[in-house]
């Protein structure tokens, strides 16, 4: 498996971990009765559970772009040492983003987000310009 696909696979596993990181405190906060209901009425999470939910949603959004970048470099045959480095930078930034968001690390959360986003952008542009 290429480094880009390996990083994508690990990013997918990170998403699973973030679902668990969010779901456990959210279910504790909302209670089992609400968690098992059809959730017709909205509830607002607070604190750790809310931050974990926002971090998880942010990764879902960024994972789409990263998946596209990996797909483009893989199918186009433009994989390189640079695209592999970008993939690993993305993954490391996303791993660091989780505790930064959940822990409220300012301005680190934004720096980790921007690093991963720029690595994805660099992969897409490099494939386009190759």
CA 82/CA 98 separation, integer angstroms: 25
Token pair in block for residue 58: 């942010």
Token pair in block for residue 61: 């959004």
CA 115/CA 22 separation, integer angstroms: 23
Closest C-alpha to 4, from 81, 61, 92: 81
Task: Go through the domains of the chain in sequence order and give each one's CATH number.
Answer: 3-36+47-129 (1.20.120.550)
CA 42/CA 47 separation, integer angstroms: 17
CA 123 to chain centre: 16
Per-residue pLDDT tens over the stretch 4-33: 999 999 999 999 999 999 999 999 999 888
Read off the pTM.
Answer: 0.93
* Count of C-beta atoms within a 10 Å radius of residue 26: 19
Per-residue pLDDT tens over the stretch 54-67: 999 999 999 999 99
pLDDT of 37 higher than 90: no
């Amino acid at each position: 498996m290429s480094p880009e696909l390996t990083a994508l696979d690990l990013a997918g596993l990170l998403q699973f971990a973030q679902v668990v990181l969010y779901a456990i405190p959210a279910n504790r906060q909302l209670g089992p009765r609400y968690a098992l209901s059809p959730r017709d009425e909205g509830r607002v999470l607070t604190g750790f559970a809310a931050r974990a939910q926002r971090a998880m949603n942010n990764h879902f959004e960024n994972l789409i772009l990263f998946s596209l970048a990996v797909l483009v470099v893989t199918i186009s045959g433009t994989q390189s040492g640079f695209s592999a480095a970008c993939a690993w930078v993305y993954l490391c930034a996303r791993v660091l983003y989780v505790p930064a968001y959940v822990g409220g690390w300012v301005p680190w959360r934004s720096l980790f987000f921007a690093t991963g986003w720029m690595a994805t952008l660099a992969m897409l542009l490099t494939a386009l310009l190759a």
